[in-house]
């Protein structure tokens, strides 16, 4: 029987904590201490641990430090699993363990442990994901800038009575405002300029995403997801960039749980008396799904802009998109007729959208590649 040495890592910005367990051991895990988080220290650790001619298997939890340690360890010929943090913490809670991550990861892997499948060599996908995350940050800047301006206007009793905020009529109304004191006028104009600058920055980031999209190897999946009502180009990019390989989920419920739209977290869908899940939705795709879910309050139809976008897609993909429209529009009306809160209805629709998204993405990603 081959002997394997399992090495658990707890990675931080400056230091890495290390624990080791031998294969076949059911007892304690040995804590080796800390090393510096740099390439030389990691190489020396590998040399020290493999002196006994045992195969090394590393494991650590995905975090803000990225996948640099994983790439170095695999380049040295070792196996390294990067565990999704939410799933790994759930496993620890179910088992009743209360120990540092380094010790938990050093134990021989359980069959239910799921590895973060987005790990790999530096790729176009990782680069696109970074750009999508930048867009999310800039959108938050836009939202905060708008809130600051509206808070200023509210303090001074300036209210726009008609229409929706930030449409053309609202912006024209802003251009007519004036304040008596020079300091107030300066503050008002600075708030307006902050909104304009943030919106311009967001537009530039989205233009960069669109310019790089034709070279992205996930472009076919992005195109296919637009067969779904409520999912336009940018939202499709957000979903694909976050998930990557949809086929790593064996069924749509696993993808729903990944997004936070599990059965237990949905008040409409879960059985009476079931506890709600404490884990929130994944921020970026979660908001994209909620935005898209509002579109199903209308009757099923394929608009002209959607026809132009999906006419080149495979028939099986178009059929899934239409099936989603018929089902989700009907469900939206039924839930609303029951008197459910609009936000609860949208959450239920967003959860079911994930199932159709999984079906479309897996159809495209599992299709044979053209020679």
What's the full length of the chain, in residues? 371
| pTM metric for this prediction | 0.74
- The DSSP-derived string for 250-271 is SSHHHHHHHHT--GGG-TTTSP
For residue 108, what pLDDT is reported?
Answer: 54
Quick one: pLDDT at residue 271?
Answer: 39
Closest C-alpha among 76, 20, 52, 208 to residue 131: 208
| Amino acid 109: pLDDT | 53
Ranges of H-type helices in the chain = 39-49, 68-75, 85-95, 101-106, 124-155, 168-175, 182-212, 219-225, 233-243, 252-259, 283-293, 304-310, 315-337, 342-365
Residue 103, pLDDT score:
56
Largest CA distance in the chain: 85
- What is the pLDDT at residue 282? 52
CA–CA dist 283, 280 (Å, integer): 8
Supply the DSSP string of 19-54, one letter for each residue.
EEEETT--S--EEEEEEESSHHHHHHHHHHHGGG-P
Cβ neighbours for 25, distance < 8 A, ≥ 6 positions apart: none
3-class SS of residue 214: helix
Measured between alpha carbons, how far is 138 from 202 in angstroms, rounded to an integer? 6
Distances (CA, A) of 224 to 105, 291, 347, 362: 38, 18, 23, 10
Locate 366 and state its tokens.
């599992």
pLDDT tens digit at each of 371 positions of the chain: 567 888 999 999 899 999 988 776 565 678 889 999 999 999 999 888 877 657 888 998 888 888 889 888 988 888 888 886 655 444 444 544 545 555 555 555 543 445 555 555 456 788 899 999 999 999 999 999 999 999 999 999 999 988 888 999 999 999 999 999 999 999 999 999 999 999 999 999 999 999 999 999 899 999 999 999 999 999 999 999 988 889 988 899 988 888 876 654 455 544 343 333 334 445 567 788 988 999 999 999 888 888 888 888 999 999 999 999 999 999 999 999 999 999 999 999 999 999 999 999 999 998 776 54
First to last CA, the chain: 42
Residue 35 contacts residue 87 (beta carbons within 8 Å): no
Helix (H) or strand (E) holding 81: strand 79-83
Q: What residue ranges define each of the domains in the chain, with the CATH number in brackets?
A: 4-106 (3.30.420.40), 124-214 (no CATH), 218-365 (no CATH)
Closest CA to 361 of 269, 266, 237: 237
Quick one: pLDDT at residue 49? 86
| Rg over CA atoms, the chain | 25
CA 296, chain centre distance (Å): 22
């Amino acid at each position: 029987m081959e002997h394997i040495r399992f090495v658990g890592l707890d990675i931080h910005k400056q230091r890495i904590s290390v624990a080791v367990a031998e294969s076949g051991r059911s007892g304690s895990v040995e804590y080796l201490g800390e090393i510096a988080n740099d390439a030389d220290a990691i190489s020396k650790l590998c040399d020290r641990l493999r002196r006994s001619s045992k195969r090394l298997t590393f494991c650590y939890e995905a975090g803000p430090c990225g996948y640099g340690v994983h790439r170095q360890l695999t380049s040295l010929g070792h196996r390294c699993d990067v565990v999704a943090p939410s799933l790994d913490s759930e496993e620890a809670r179910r088992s009743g363990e209360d120990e540092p991550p380094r010790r938990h990861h050093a134990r021989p892997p359980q069959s239910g442990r799921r590895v973060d499948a987005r790990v790999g060599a530096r790729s176009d996908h990782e680069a696109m994901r970074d750009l999508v995350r930048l867009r999310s940050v800039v959108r938050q800047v836009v939202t905060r800038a708008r809130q600051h301006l509206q808070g200023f206007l509210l303090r001074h009793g300036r209210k726009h009575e008609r229409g929706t905020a930030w449409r053309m009529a609202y912006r024209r109304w802003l251009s007519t405002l004036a304040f008596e004191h020079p300091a107030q006028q300066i503050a008002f104009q600075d708030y307006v300029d902050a909104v304009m600058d943030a919106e311009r920055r967001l537009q530039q980031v989205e233009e960069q995403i669109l310019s790089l999209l034709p070279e992205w190897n996930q472009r076919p999946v992005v195109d296919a997801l637009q067969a779904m009502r409520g999912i336009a180009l940018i939202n499709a990019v957000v979903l694909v960039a976050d998930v990557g390989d949809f086929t790593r989920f064996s069924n749509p419920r696993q993808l729903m749980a990944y997004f936070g739209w599990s059965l237990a977290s949905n008040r409409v869908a879960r059985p009476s008396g079931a506890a709600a899940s404490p884990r929130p939705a994944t921020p970026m795709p979660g908001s994209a799904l909620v935005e898209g879910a509002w579109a199903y309050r209308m009757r099923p139809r394929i608009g002209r802009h959607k026809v132009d976008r999906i006419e080149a897609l495979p028939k099986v993909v178009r059929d899934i998109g239409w099936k989603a429209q018929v089902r989700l529009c009907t469900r939206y009306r039924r839930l609303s007729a029951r008197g459910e809160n609009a936000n609860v209805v949208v959450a239920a629709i967003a959860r079911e959208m994930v199932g159709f998204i999984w079906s479309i993405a897996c159809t495209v990603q599992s299709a044979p590649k053209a020679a």
